[in-house]
Amino acid sequence: MNDFLRIFMRQFKGRMNQNILERITYLRDELRQHNYNYYVLDSATISDYDFDNKLKELQGLEAQYPQYFDETSPTQRVGGEVTKSFKTVVHKNRMYSLDNSYSKEDLYDWEKRIQKNLGVENTEYTCELKYDGASINLSYEKGKLVSAVTRGDGFQGDDVTANIKTIKSIPLKLKGELVDSFEIRGEIILPLDGFNKMNEERILEGEDPYRNPRNTASGSLKLQDSAEVAKRPLDCLLYHVVGDKIPFETHFKTLERARNIGFKVPKAVKECKDIDAVFEFINYWDVERHKLPYETDGIVIKVNNLHQQDELGFTAKAPRWAIAYKFKAAQESTLLHEITYQVGRTGAITPVANLEPVKLAGTIVKRASLHNADQIEKLDIRVNDTVFVEKGGEIIPKVVGVDLAKRTSDSQPTLYATNCPDCETLLVRKEGDAKHYCPNEFGCPTQITGRIQHFISRKAMNVDGLGAETIELLFKEGLIFNFADLYDLRIEQITPLERMAEKSAQNIVAGIELSKQIPFEKVLFAIGIRFVGETVAKKLAKHYKSIDKMMISSFEDLTKVDEIGDRIAQSIVDFSNDLSNIQLIDRLRSYGVQLEMSVESQANQTDKLHGKIFVVSGVFHQMSRNELKKAIEDNGGKVSSSISKKTSYIVAGDNMGPSKRSKADDLEIPIITEEEFIELIR
C-alpha cells in the first residue's frame, strides 16, 4: 500500500507540474502576442487591466516554480538589473556610417557610380526614413535575443542588453524563423509624445527639461538601473539584417520577413524600381515627415538586391550600396557676440562664433564653427552681426551667412588671429593649407593634452578610467607631459588629486597597464602622426609589420605603399626624423607597448599575391565574399571594386554581371573560379 501511494503521489505531482508548466507557457505566449499587437502593430487586443493581471499571475507562478525560468519571458522586461560599468564588445560585423547627399544631383552621381561598378544599366532600391535616435545592434541565436550593443565607434560598442530588454517593441523570442544566427540593426528612439510627457513631469518636479529626444534616448541606454530605463517610453525601429545565408534575394523581402517574425520594421519602407521612384518617395516624406510621431532627418536609399550589395562592398567608412539623402537643414538667425579661436591636437586653429543662444533642430546652440580665415573673409563675418546658423548634416552647427540689412554702421571687418590663443606663438599658414597652425608642437598646452587625449581614446589605446578632464588635471599637476609619461604613473601620485580616490587611481593605472595589449595598428593610430588615420595606420602596419621598419623608410618607399600619397609620406618622414618622437617611441617600447604585428596576426599572412589586384564578382559557395576578400589581403593582394587595365584577376562566382564579363574580355583580364583562387593561395 505504501509503494502504491508513493507511485500515485509521484504521478500526481508530475501531472500537477506539467499543468503548471503548460499554464506558464500559455501565459508567456499570450503576453508576447499582446505585446506584439500593441507595441509593433499598434493594435491593442486586451485592456491594460487584463494585461497587468495576467502578468502578475505569471510573475507569481515563476517565483513559486523557479525551475521553469526563461530569460525570454515577458516578466524579464520590468528591469531591476544594475550595471555599474558597461562591457565593451567588438562588433562581429562593423557598423559603418552612411555617406550623405543633399541634392538630386548627388543621388544621380551615386547611381552612376554603383551602376558602373556593377556593370548594369538599371538598379532597384529600397527607401527608408532615416530615424534620429541611438543606433543599436541586436544579436539573435536560434530565435532568442542574446545581446544588444551600441554602435560605439563602429568597431566596438557597449553591451546594454539588460536595458534593451525593457523595451517592449524588441522581441526577446521570435515568432518564426529567419536564420539560426543573425544581427539586426535599428534605432532606439523616444517618440515625441513620450518625450513631451517626460518633460512635463520633470518641470512639475522642478527639474530642467531634456533638450531633445535623440540625446535622451541615447542617454537612457547607459543608465545603470534597468528599472529606470523600463519607465521611459523608448521604442526601437529596425532597418537592416546582417547574417550569412539570408534566404532572400532582396533587402525589402528580408525586412518583410523580419516584420512578420516580431520586429518593428516601419511600414514606410518602400521598394523603388528606379531613381525616379526614389525621388517621389523623397518628395512625399519631405512634407509628410512633420506628421510622424518621431523625429527623422532624411531618407536612406539602399540597393535592393543583396548580391549586388555584396558586390559593391564598402569604402573605409561607408557602404557603397547605401546613401542618406538629408532634408534641408534647419536654419535660424542670431547675434554673433564674439569670435574666439580653438587649438587642436595637431596645432590647427579653428575660429568659433560665440552666439546669443538660439534653439536649432531641437537643441540650444551657443557656439558654431567658422571653419577658417577664408570662410570668414568670404562671408565677411563680423562681431555684432546677425548671422544665419544651421546644422551641417543636422549635427554640427555652422554659420552660413550674414544678414547685412541688420549690420550696424560702425561695424569693422574681422582681423584673423595672428598668435596662438594658448601659448602666444606666432601662427603659420603653409601654402595650400586652409587652416592656420601653431608650430609650438611640444610647448603648447592644448596640443600636448590633445595628443594624450587622442592616445587614450576608444579608437586608439582605449584606456578605461581616463578622460579629457583627468588628462588636463594630470598635466596641470606636472605628472604627464606626453603620452609615454602615462606608463610611469603610480597610484600614490594620483590619489591625492582633486576628485580622486584610491579606487579611481587603481582603475586608471590598471587601464593604462591593459593598453599594453592593444595591437600595433591601433598603437600606430594612437601616436597621432599627422594625416595617419585609422585606415592608413592599418595599411602601414600591415605593410611594414613594425614601427622601426616604417620609421627608417624613405619618402620614395612610403609612397609605394597602397594608398600612401606624398602628403602622408612626408608627414611620416618628418615624424621619424624628429628626435623627440624617436625618444617617445623608445620609451613606449621599454614599457611593453605593441610596436610590431603579433605572431598570431601574421600567422596566416603571405606575400603570394603581392602586387596583384583582384575584382571579386558574383555569388560563391565555399567562401563568403568577405572571406574571399580577406584571403586576398592576407596573402598580400589588393581588392578593387571596379575592373581596369591594372586588374590582375577576376574571381567570378554565379550571377557575375554580363557587362563586367564583357569588359574583362575586352581588357583580356583572366577570369578564375572560386576553386582556382583557392588553388592559387594554397
The whole-angstrom separation of Cα 352 and Cα 357 is: 14
What is the overall mean pLDDT for the chain?
89
Q: Same domain, yes or no, for 129 and 11? A: no
Provide the pairing of β-strand 235-242 with 181-189.
antiparallel
Can you tell me the mean pLDDT for 338-355? 94
Q: Same domain, yes or no, for 269 and 131? A: yes
Q: Is the distance from CB of 439 to CB of 422 less than 8 angstroms?
A: no
Q: Is the pLDDT of residue 86 over 60?
A: yes
Residue span of the structural domain in which 74 resides: 2-78
Find the CATH number of the domain harbouring 561. 1.10.150.20
User: Which of 48-62, 214-228, 438-452 ranks highest by mean pLDDT?
Assistant: 438-452
Last residue of a domain, one of 290, 307, 326: 326
Q: Same domain, yes or no, for 190 and 287? A: yes
Residue 642: closest CA among 662, 616, 623: 616
Residue 593: closest CA among 495, 456, 477, 465: 456
The domain tally of the chain equals 4
Find the CATH number of the domain harbouring 25. 1.10.287.610
* Residue 464 confidence (pLDDT): 83
Q: Is the distance from CB of 504 to CB of 465 less than 8 angstroms?
A: yes
Termini Cα distance of the chain: 75
Q: Same domain, yes or no, for 140 and 208? A: yes
What cell does 258 get?
523580419
The whole-angstrom separation of Cα 630 and Cα 610 is: 14
Q: Same domain, yes or no, for 566 and 627? A: no
Q: Give the long-range contacts of residues 503-507, CB within 8 A, separation 24 or more.
A: 504/465, 507/464, 507/465
Give per-residue pLDDT as tens, 110-123.
999 999 888 888 99
Can you tell me the mean pLDDT for 200-215? 85
Q: How confident is the model at residue 71 (pLDDT cuts 50, 70, 90)?
A: confident
Residue 609: closest CA among 629, 641, 634: 634
Is residue 586 one of the residues assigned to a domain? yes
The percentage of residues in the chain with a pLDDT greater than 90, rounded to a whole number, is: 58
Angle between helices 275-288 and 104-118 (to 10 degrees): 150
Q: How confident is the model at residue 425 (pLDDT cuts 50, 70, 90)?
A: very high
Q: Same domain, yes or no, for 31 and 152? A: no
Residue 278 neighbours by CB under 8 Å, 6+ apart? 107, 125, 127, 272, 299, 301
Is residue 62 one of the residues assigned to a domain? yes
Q: How confident is the model at residue 598 (pLDDT cuts 50, 70, 90)?
A: confident
Can you tell me the mean pLDDT for 75-85? 70
Q: Which residues pair with 396 in a beta bridge?
A: 392
Q: Same domain, yes or no, for 199 and 116? A: yes
Q: Same domain, yes or no, for 656 and 577? A: no
* Residue 397 confidence (pLDDT): 87
* Residue 80 confidence (pLDDT): 60
Can you tell me the mean pLDDT for 348-357? 94
- Greater confidence (68 vs 429) lies with 429
Is residue 43 one of the residues assigned to a domain? yes
SS3 content of the chain, % helix, strand, coil (to 5): 40, 20, 40
Q: Is the distance from CB of 493 to CB of 479 less than 8 angstroms?
A: yes
Q: How confident is the model at residue 483 (pLDDT cuts 50, 70, 90)?
A: very high
Q: Same domain, yes or no, for 166 and 273? A: yes
Q: Is the distance from CB of 190 to CB of 133 less than 8 angstroms?
A: yes
Is residue 407 one of the residues assigned to a domain? no
The whole-angstrom separation of Cα 445 and Cα 345 is: 9
Is residue 488 one of the residues assigned to a domain? yes
Q: How confident is the model at residue 11 (pLDDT cuts 50, 70, 90)?
A: low
Is residue 574 one of the residues assigned to a domain? yes
Q: Is the pLDDT of residue 17 over 90?
A: no
* Residue 392 confidence (pLDDT): 60
* Residue 545 confidence (pLDDT): 92
* Residue 623 confidence (pLDDT): 85
Give per-residue pLDDT as tens, 252-299.
999 999 999 999 999 999 999 999 999 999 999 999 998 999 988 899
Q: Same domain, yes or no, for 294 and 160? A: yes
Type and span of the H or E element at 613: strand 613-617
The whole-angstrom separation of Cα 624 and Cα 515 is: 33
| CB-count exposure of residue 218 (10 Å: 0-12, 13-18, 19+) | middle
* Residue 541 confidence (pLDDT): 93
Can you tell me the mean pLDDT for 303-326? 91
User: Which of 303-317, 570-584, 610-624 ranks highest by mean pLDDT?
Assistant: 570-584
Find the CATH number of the domain harbouring 217. 3.30.470.30
What cell does 442 get?
611640444
Type and span of the H or E element at 158: strand 156-158
Is residue 355 one of the residues assigned to a domain? no
- Greater confidence (618 vs 387) lies with 387
Q: Same domain, yes or no, for 504 and 621? A: no
Q: Which residues pair with 464 in a beta bridge?
A: none
* Residue 424 confidence (pLDDT): 96
Is residue 381 one of the residues assigned to a domain? no
Q: Is the pLDDT of residue 395 over 70?
A: no
Q: Is the distance from CB of 588 to CB of 595 less than 8 angstroms?
A: yes
* Residue 16 confidence (pLDDT): 66
Find the CATH number of the domain harbouring 622. 3.40.50.10190
* Residue 479 confidence (pLDDT): 96
Q: Same domain, yes or no, for 628 and 588? A: no
What cell does 632 get?
586576398
Last residue of a domain, one of 279, 298, 326: 326
Q: Is the distance from CB of 344 to CB of 119 less than 8 angstroms?
A: no
Task: Compute CA distances 594 → 534, 548, 580, whole Å.
Answer: 16, 12, 19
* Residue 48 confidence (pLDDT): 73
Last residue of a domain, one of 282, 304, 326: 326
The whole-angstrom separation of Cα 122 and Cα 235 is: 36
User: Helix (H, G, I), strand (E, B), or coil: what is residue 7?
Assistant: helix
Active site amino acids: 130
What cell does 68 get?
521553469
Give per-residue pLDDT as tens, 553-593.
999 999 988 779 999 999 999 999 999 999 999 999 999 99
| CB-count exposure of residue 587 (10 Å: 0-12, 13-18, 19+) | middle
